[in-house]
Amino acid sequence: MLKPTKMTRVVIAGTKDTIEPVISTLHSLNMLHITDYTEENEDFKIGRPLKPASKLSEYLLSLRAISSQLGITGKEPASKQSSKELPSRIDEKITELQKEVSSRFDELRGIEFKIKEKEDLISAVKPFFGLPLSLEAYQGYETIKVYTGFISDDIEPKLLKITNNYELFTGEYEKRKIFALFIPKTYEDEIQKLLQDERSYVELKVPELKGNPPVILDQLTNEVSTLKENHASIRSELDTIKKEYSDFIMASDEFLSIETQKAEAPLRFATSANAFIIDGWVPSKKYNELESRLQESTNGKAYLTRLEEVNEEEIPIELENPTPAKPFELLINTFATPKYREIDPAVMLFITFPLFYAIMLGDVGYGIILAGLALVIKNKFKTGGLNALASILLLSAVLSVILGVIYGELFGFPLFNIEIKGHIEEGILGIAAPAIAGLHLPIHRFDSVQSLLMITLIIGILHISLGLIIGFRNVTIGHGLGHAIYAKGSWMLILIGGVVAIAKLMPSLMSGSSIRLNDPAIMAGMGLALIGIILLIKGEGFISIMEIPTLLSNVLSYARILAIGLSSAGIALAVNTLSMDLFIKPDHVLLGGGIGLALVGVVVLFIGHLINLILGVLGPGLHSLRLQYVEFFTKFYEGGGRKYIPFGYNRKYTEE
């Protein structure tokens, strides 16, 4: 919690005959972050991959080709396959599968090509429906030239000027005029020129087929449908193969990936003629396990050394947090991985992120729906980023329900009875709100804007102060106390002093009465802020004065917690008023406008709340995150650490 996992640098050395057991032990332990060996010298070279590497990657390549041809996608496996049995099956199955799948795939390609060809022919034949000739009549002449095409003008008068020795057929296809002209080749040049001058002329190529166009069309259509049937049957064969082998392919893919990873591991080691050295990091508390397991698998032939003197920049970072706060590491890593000695703020995010979110959303109905949604996502994705996001959403949604009770809002409708201008408006529950610990519920958001604004600003001041305190600690550890006082202490003084002074000044500023500067609290506050400013200038230079307004904007920025909440509640209220007063209950009579209008009202209600719900995920989520990243993190967080990636694999489809 708060600090990344403590790491120990470990160097493992051994003779080359133990390299395989060492690699497979390390891989199954999944705890050593290997530092790649890059500087070759006379004694030590980068290792060579183990023998099976090239064969394994070949297999992997053909397997991936098959799986992409079959369109196999990762899903949750029904059962895990044992990796002891897989190798023997992989050998025989992959060649067989490849043959079956790729031959069928080639066939599919061939059929698709033929279908395309036939369809092109069909569209070429169709225009000739308009002419009373069979297709062979257009070709095979020695002294006659044939022109066919679309044309909108009558060319006969122009033809007659050239010669009367011709035959012209005209017709219509899809409301365009079509013609076929048979004329001796001696007039070729003149006709060419004549047609070129006709703007509406579009040449048509006669397909090289024999027979009447309608007959040919029938034949072609039949051929296409036969081809399509073939295509479908091969596709279904492929689907059967896919169904049958999908589990096997996913498992083999995983198995081969793991084996390739192992076989290629020596590329990260330093090796001499007869020995190898692995340099890496292991979480300190796991060191003993690593040592004993390695000794066990090599009969004591591997040598482990712990190195005490380390360069902090090189330590890989593994965040360590209690399970509930674990999903929030995603938000930290999205921003930046912390450095080894920095505070890991995941636990603080665990508290503040859902809190800000809930204060913004604060509606029982939306909260319940989002919680349900989060549960569904969590069930569907058991690991990974989406699971973490769903966990965050779940927590935020549950808190939103609680805040919704405090605000007394359910889809924007009042949850409890509230008194407006003397008469009591009945809420959904039909009861008056309970008073908890002297606080009279509900705190209606539109009625208490002023006090809620105060609360959000106080939250902001506390949040920023927390950031500055962590920053103070980080700088103290990194650069010493003096630096910390200049860099962070100064800001704390300005913040506290400023807040005290402004809080005292505010009432008289608001009421417009004269300001009494000799109030001790104001004097003290201004004094503190002044000391802070002096420290700041001393530490960071004169230009840092420019930064001071940022502090104000940072604090005011927390007003967005109220603003987003008001807009969300406002949209809900608008949707409710619109649908209830206009459609469902015009003039306070249920179905007063008839069933039709009531249905319109229901649609408006549904769509309105759906939009507001989507906004309710995006708005509060992003703004709550922004407050963390921009207002909070900038006070202390540097980041730039390297992530801890242990040598190993999280098995999903296979087991050892």
The residue ranges that bind another protein (CB under 8 A) are 334-336, 449-450, 453, 510, 553-554, 556-557, 559-560, 562-563, 625-626, 629-630, 633-634, 639
Work out whether the CA dihedral 500, 504, 509, 514 comes out positive or negative.
negative
The nearest distance, CB 598 to another protein, in angstroms, is 33
Q: Which two tokens stand for residue 166?
A: 């011709």
The nearest distance, CB 335 to another protein, in angstroms, is 3
Compute φ and ψ for 168, nearest 5 degrees. Answer: -125, 125
Q: Which of 266, 260, 269 is nearest to 48 (CA)?
A: 266
The nearest distance, CB 345 to another protein, in angstroms, is 13
Q: Which one, 2 or 336, has the nearer CB to another protein?
A: 336
Compute φ and ψ for 280, nearest 5 degrees. Answer: -170, -175
The nearest distance, CB 524 to another protein, in angstroms, is 25
Q: Which one, 485 or 555, has the nearer CB to another protein?
A: 555
**C-alpha angle 218/222/223, rounded to 5°?**
120
Helix (H, G, I), strand (E, B) or coil at 473: helix
Q: Which one, 483 or 626, has the nearer CB to another protein?
A: 626
User: Residue 541 — left, alpha, or beta (φ > 0 → left; ψ -120 to 50 → alpha)?
Assistant: left
Q: Which two tokens stand for residue 629?
A: 């990243």
Block residue for tokens 């090509």: 113
Compute φ and ψ for 637, nearest 5 degrees. Answer: -90, 130
One-letter amino acid of 152: S
Q: How far is CA 250 from CA 73, 91, 101, 213, in A?
A: 9, 15, 16, 52
Q: Which one, 250 or 392, has the nearer CB to another protein?
A: 392
Helix (H) or strand (E) holding 171: strand 167-173
Q: Which one, 144 or 552, has the nearer CB to another protein?
A: 552
The nearest distance, CB 385 to another protein, in angstroms, is 12
The nearest distance, CB 523 to another protein, in angstroms, is 26
Cβ atoms of 279 and 35 within 8 Å: the answer is yes
User: Residue 71 — left, alpha, or beta (φ > 0 → left; ψ -120 to 50 → alpha)?
Assistant: left
Q: Which one, 386 or 453, has the nearer CB to another protein?
A: 453
Q: Which one, 453 or 571, has the nearer CB to another protein?
A: 453
Q: Which two tokens stand for residue 51?
A: 């023998």
Q: Which of 163, 136, 138 is nearest to 148 (CA)?
A: 138
Q: Which one, 66 or 346, has the nearer CB to another protein?
A: 346
The nearest distance, CB 475 to another protein, in angstroms, is 20
Compute φ and ψ for 352, nearest 5 degrees. Answer: -80, -35
**C-alpha angle 109/112/113, rounded to 5°?**
85
The nearest distance, CB 625 to another protein, in angstroms, is 8
Q: Which one, 153 or 447, has the nearer CB to another protein?
A: 447
Block residue for tokens 């008073």: 435
Separation between Cα atoms, residue 591 and residue 397, nearest integer Å:
34
Q: Which two tokens stand for residue 319?
A: 């965040």
The nearest distance, CB 84 to another protein, in angstroms, is 38
What angle do the packed helices 346-361 and 594-626 form, to 10 degrees?
A: 150
The nearest distance, CB 444 to another protein, in angstroms, is 13
The nearest distance, CB 502 to another protein, in angstroms, is 13
Cβ atoms of 312 and 53 within 8 Å: the answer is no
Separation between Cα atoms, residue 613 and residue 501, nearest integer Å:
41
Bridge partners, residue 46, by sequence:
270
Q: Which one, 16 or 626, has the nearer CB to another protein?
A: 626
Q: How far is CA 465 from CA 253, 365, 458, 527, in A?
A: 51, 34, 10, 19
Separation between Cα atoms, residue 182 and residue 104, nearest integer Å:
48
Cα 625 versus chain centre, distance = 16
Q: Which one, 336 or 591, has the nearer CB to another protein?
A: 336
Q: Which one, 327 or 338, has the nearer CB to another protein?
A: 338
The nearest distance, CB 342 to another protein, in angstroms, is 14
Q: How far is CA 299 from CA 17, 27, 277, 625, in A?
A: 12, 18, 17, 52
Cβ atoms of 616 and 452 within 8 Å: the answer is no
The nearest distance, CB 334 to another protein, in angstroms, is 6
Q: Which one, 265 or 359, has the nearer CB to another protein?
A: 359
What angle do the packed helices 520-540 and 490-511 form, to 10 degrees?
A: 140
The nearest distance, CB 562 to another protein, in angstroms, is 8
The nearest distance, CB 590 to another protein, in angstroms, is 34
Cβ atoms of 12 and 278 within 8 Å: the answer is yes
Q: Which one, 466 or 559, has the nearer CB to another protein?
A: 559
Q: Which one, 177 or 642, has the nearer CB to another protein?
A: 642
The nearest distance, CB 550 to another protein, in angstroms, is 8
**With 0-12 CB in 10 A as exposed, 13-18 as middle and 19+ as buried, what is 582?**
middle
Q: Which one, 298 or 337, has the nearer CB to another protein?
A: 337
